[in-house]
Structure 1
Amino acid sequence: MKKAPHRSMFQSSRGKQDSTSQRDLPGKISDKNQHKTHSVQNYFKAASRKLAGVFTILLFRKRKKGNTNDNKTNNQVKTLSFSSSTDHSTGSDVRSSARLKSFGSYGSSTSASGHIPTPDFSFEDICKATGNFSEGNKIGEGRFGTVYKGRLKDGSLVAVKRTKKDKYEEGLSLQFKNEILALSKIEHRNLVRLFGFMEHRDEQIIVVEYVGNGNLREHLDGVRGNGLEIAERLDIAIDVAHALTYLHTYTDPPIIHRDIKASNILITEKLRAKVADFGFARLALEDPAATHISTQVKGTAGYVDPEYTRTYQLTEKSDVYSFGVLLVELMTGRYPIESKRPVKERITIRWAMKSLNEGEFVIAMDPRLRRSPASNMVVEKVLKLAHQCLAPVRQSRPSMKNCAEVLWGIRKNFKEKASSSSSSASHYSANFPDIDARNNRHLFGIEEDESYRFISA
C-alpha cells in the first residue's frame, strides 16, 4: 500500500520541490501522486482566491456603511480608538480624533485593550452640565487647562478638564491622549474614574469623577478641613500605595504614573485618597525582558527620580522614588522644595533624612501633628520607609507592594500602641468621619491578616 504524501513535502516554490531528492522522503512517490499533489495545491489556491474575494466585498460594504454613519455625526466630533502606545516623549500615540465616551461602571470589559465604548452624551451636554463653563463652577487650574465642576443628566457629579485654547499645542494634545489611554485601562477605588472625553473643534475635554474635598496639599496647608492627624495621613499613604501597586502590578501592561505629588492626590469626604492626573503616565513595555523605557524626562521638580533624570531610563521604581518624597511630605507637612528656608532645609528630603539619621526625627515632624508615643513611632517608621524609597539606585528601592505591606504593619502597630493610651482619639482630626472598622476590613485593598495579602479593587 502506498503511503500518503507527508505535508512537509509541499514546498513554497516549484524549484524547491524539484530539488528535493525522493530518497530523503519516507516513501517513494510516483509521478501520479505528484500530479495529485499539484492538483490539491491548485484547488486550495483557487478556493483561497474566491474566499478572499468574498471577504473583500464584505469589508468594502462594511466600510461603506461605516462611512455613511460617520458622515451623519461629522458635524460634531470624530471617533477614536487606541492602537499604539509608543510615543517617544509622553507615551501613547493615538492616531485619530475623539468623541465623548462614557462608562457605565468603574471601567469596561475592553479596558485592557484601551478600547472606549460608544458615547451617550455630547459637547452640548457638557456645556449644560458646567453652566457653559461658568466661573462659579471653576474648581481648579493646571498645565492641562481649567477644571470645572459639572452635573450630568443622570445626576453624576463630574470634573471637566478643558484645554485652554491659547495653549492648544502638540504637547498638550499628546498629554490629553496619554491620560485617556491610561484612564481607560484602570479600575480601582483609589484612582479617579474616567467618565469620558472629547475633541470638539479646537477644544479637548476630559470628564472624570468629581472628588469634592480638595487635594492632599491643601489639607496639609490647612486650606481644607481641620488639618490631618497622623492616623489620617497614614491611611492616605496606604491608599496611594495601593493605587500605585495596582498600576504597577495588576494592569496589563503596567502603568507608570510619572507625576506622583501631593496636589495630584485627591481627598474624599471620608478622607480617603484617589490618585489623579495621568497626563504624564507611561505604559511599560510589554517585552518581559525589557528593564526600562528610554524616554524624555517628565514630572514635577522635587519629586522626579534623579536616576531617571540622569539616564532617561524610566521604570516603576521612579514612581517609588516620588512616593518616598510624598511620605516625607506627609510626615513633615513641608513642600519638597522650600526656597525661603535656611540653605540646609531647602530640600526637604535631605533635611528630613539627616534628622532621621541623627536620631532627631521629631524635629522633622509636622508641628501641626499631636505628639505622643504612638504618633512619634509612626513618623520614625514612615521616614525609614521613605529613606528606602529614596535610594539613589533604583534596584535598592522596594516595590510599591512592599511599601503597602510595610505601611500596613506600621498601622497595625500604631493601633495597638494608641489603644493602650487614653489619648487615642487625639490621633484623628475633628473632621475625621465616624467609620465602623468592622465594615471596612477590605477597604484599603489588602486583607488585614498576618500575610497582608494584596486585593485588587
Structure 2
Amino acid sequence: MLAARNRASPTGHGGFSGFNSEFHQSDPGFSWTSTYTPRSRVVNKKVRSSRSIRGKVAALAGSCTKCFAPPRSEIKEAHENTPIDGQDVTISPISRISSTSSTSNNISRQRGSSSQTKSWQEQFSFQEICIATSNFSEQNRIGLGNFGTVYKAKLRDGSIIAVKRATKTHGGHISVEFRSEIQMLSKVEHLNLVKFLGYVEYEDERLILVEYVNNGTLRQHLDGSQGEPLEFAQRLNIAIDIVHAIAYLHGYTDHPIIHRDIKSSNILLTEHLRAKVADFGFARLAPENPEATHVSTLVKGTAGYVDPEYLHTNQLTDRSDVYSFGVLLVELITGRRPIERGRGRRRHQRLTTEWALRKCREGDVVVVMDPRMRRSSAVVAAVEKVMALAAECTAPERAARPAMRRCAEVLWSVRRDLQQEQQRAAAAAASAAARRHDDSTYAPPSVTSSRQERFGNLR
C-alpha cells in the first residue's frame, strides 16, 4: 500500500504540485504522500457530454433487449451516478453495489474493479461485519463518532478495520450525516486523514468502514489514559500533522472541504505518534461560487472549539476550522480540555484558551505548560511562538485569522528553530563533558615526589 501511495504521489497537477514543492522548500523533512489527483473541469465537461451520448445509445439498445434480460443486481461506477440527493449518493472514485432487494446491502469500496467488487461485497456484508465485531460487542467498542459508536472489527483475512455504526433514531438527520460523511471521505486521501474503506446499508443499519488506528485519540494521550506523557517535540509534530491535513482539505482537494469539528478526540494517533484527522460527519463543502465568502448553515461542532463568529452569524468559512485548530494548539501545550468547569468560579479560569492566552500576555508562559513536559530554554521559546500562533488563530474576527497554509509555515519554522537549538545545546554539553573528562585524567606531580627529586639532586 505504501508503495502504491509513493507511485501515485502527485506531480505536474497544477496547483497541487505547486503546493507540494513549496511545502518541501519550507520544510525539507516533510513528505507529501497524498494520492489525490485534481480533475480538470474541461475534461469533466467533455466526459459529461460523451456520457450523455452513450446514455442515449444505451437507452435505445436497452429498449430492444430489456424484455430478454433477466433481473439482476446492478453494479454502477460512482462517476456514472447522479448527484447526491435523499435517495442516492455520488462517491468518486468508488464503486457502489446496489440491489433491488429491500434488505440488500449497499457497499462501496475504494478503487474496486468489477471483478473485485463481489469479493468485497461478501467480506463487507452486514453479516460479516457482525461476525468481525462479535455482534457489536462492548468488548470491541473503541469510541464514539458524531452519529454513532465505533467498533474494532477483525475480518476473515486477519485484517483489522474500524466500523462506525449509526445510532438508530426516528429522525432523518442520521441518514443525512451518514451520507455526508461518505461523500466527504470518498473525496479525500491523505497520509494524515483516516482512510475510507467502504460503507454498508442493510435495512435500518448504517455502517461506515475506515482504517483502524491503533493508538487511541490525542485526548486520551493528553489525559494520561493512553501511552507515556507527550514531550513538547512530539506535540509539535502532532500539530504539524494536523495542519497538513486541514490545509489539504481547505485548498488542495477538488472542492474545498470545511471539517467543522476539529478537536482532540477526533485526532487519532498511530503507534509512531503520527496524527490522523477523523470523523467527517459535520463536514461541509465550501461555496462553489468563488465570490461567495461563506456557507450559511446551522451551527454544528463541539463546545469550546466552535468559532464564535460562526456561532453568532451561522456563516461558516474555512477560518472556522482555523479557530478550532487554535484551541487545539492551546490544548496541546496545556494538556487541559477547552472547558474545565472544576477549575474555578471565574470564567477565564474555566475557559482554558482564554486563561492560557492571558497568562502568556502577562509573560507567564511556563505556567501554562503541561507539567508533564520537560522544560528547557529552547522548549520555552518554542512554546511562546506556538501560543502566539494560537492567539492569531483564535482571533474574535475571522478576517484576522491566518490561513492553514500560513499556520503550517509557522509551525515548520518553530520545529526547525527548536531542532537547531537542541543540536547546539547537545554540542555544548558534549564539549563541556569532554573538558571535564580531560581535567579528571590530568594528574599533577605530587609535593612529596617533587621534594625528593629536589633534595636528591643535592646529594
State whether TM-score is above 0.5.
yes
Q: Which residue of 2 aligns with 1:160?
A: 163
Counterpart mapping for 1:238-253 below 5 A: 238-253=240-255
User: Which residue identity does 1:290 align to in structure 2?
Assistant: A
- CA 1:53/1:396 → structure 2, altered by over 3 Å: closer, same or farther? closer
CA distance in 2, matches of 1:370, 1:423: 19
Does the residue aligned with 1:234 lie in a helix, a strand or coil? helix
Work out whether residues 241 and 404 of structure 1, in 8 Å CA contact, stay in contact via their aligned partners in 2: yes
- Structure 1, residues 385-409: CA drift from partner, whole Å, max 9, x if none? 0111011111111111110111000
- Distance in 2 between the 1:203 and 1:279 partners? 16
Q: Of 77, 80, 99, which aligns to 2:106? A: 99
Q: Displacement of 1:412 after TM fit? A: 0.2
RMSD, aligned α-carbons:
3.0
Tell me the residue number matched to 1:133: 136
Q: 1:177 to 1:54 in 2, by over 3 A?
A: closer
Q: Which one-letter code corresponds to 2:132 in the other structure?
A: A
Q: In the alignment, is the contact (CA less than 8 A) between 1:215 and 1:265 conserved in 2?
A: yes
Give, in whole Å, the separation in 1 of the partners of 2:56 and 2:249: 45
Question: How many angstroms does 1:259 deviate by?
Answer: 0.1
* Aligned twin of 2:315: 313
Deviation string 1:244-300 (CA, Å, 9 cap, x unpaired) is 011001111111000000000001000010000000000112221211111111100
Q: Is the 8 A contact 1:82 1:94 kept in 2?
A: no
- Structure 1's 338 and 289: CA in aligned 2 closer, same or farther, altered over 3 A? same
Shift of 1:156: 2.4
- Deviation for aligned residue 1:119: 4.4
Question: Aligned partners of 2:122, 2:145: CA distance in 1, in Å?
Answer: 28
Contact 1:215 1:266 in 2 (8 A): yes
Name structure 2 gaps, 5 residues minimum: 1-53, 90-97, 99-104, 114-118, 430-459
| 2:327 is equivalent to residue 334 of structure 1 | no
What pairs with 1:85-234 in structure 2 (closer than 5 Å)?
95=88, 99-103=106-110, 119=121, 121=123, 122-165=125-168, 167=169, 169-234=171-236
Report the secondary structure of 2:131's partner residue: helix
Q: Which has the higher contact order (CA 8 A, sep 6+)?
A: 1
Shift of 1:154: 3.6
Q: Offset at 1:66?
A: 9.1
Offset at 1:164?
2.8
The answer on whether the counterparts of 2:167 and 2:174 sit within 8 Å (CA) in structure 1 is no
Q: Runs of 5+ in structure 1 lacking a partner?
A: 1-50, 74-78, 86-91, 109-116, 426-457
CA distance in structure 2 between the aligned counterparts of 1:126 and 1:216, rounded to whole angstroms: 27
Q: Give the Cα separation in 1 of the matches to 2:320 and 2:423.
A: 37
Give 3-state SS (helix, strand or coil) of 1:99's partner: strand
Partner of 2:454: none
CA distance in 2 between counterparts of 1:143 and 1:378 reads 34
Aligned 8 A contact 1:248 1:256 in 2: yes
TM-score if structure 1 supplies the norm length?
0.71
On the 8 A contact 1:195/1:209 being kept in 2, the answer is yes
Q: Percent identity?
A: 53
CA spacing shift, 1:53–1:102, aligned 2, 3 Å:
closer
Q: Displacement of 1:379 after TM fit?
A: 1.1
Give the equivalent residue in structure 2 for 1:402.
406
Deviates more, 1:136-145 or 1:234-243: 136-145
SS of the equivalent of 2:330 reads helix
CA distance in 2, matches of 1:65, 1:240: 55
Report the counterpart of residue 415 of structure 2 in structure 1: 411
Indicate conservation of the 8 Å contact 2:319/2:398, yes or no: yes
Q: In 1, distance between residues paired with 2:324 and 2:65?
A: 49
Aligned-partner Cα distance in 2 for 1:338–1:67: 63
Separation (CA, whole Å) in 1 of partners of 2:56 and 2:364: 79
Deviation at 1:310, TM superposition (A): 1.1
TM-score (norm: length of structure 2)? 0.71
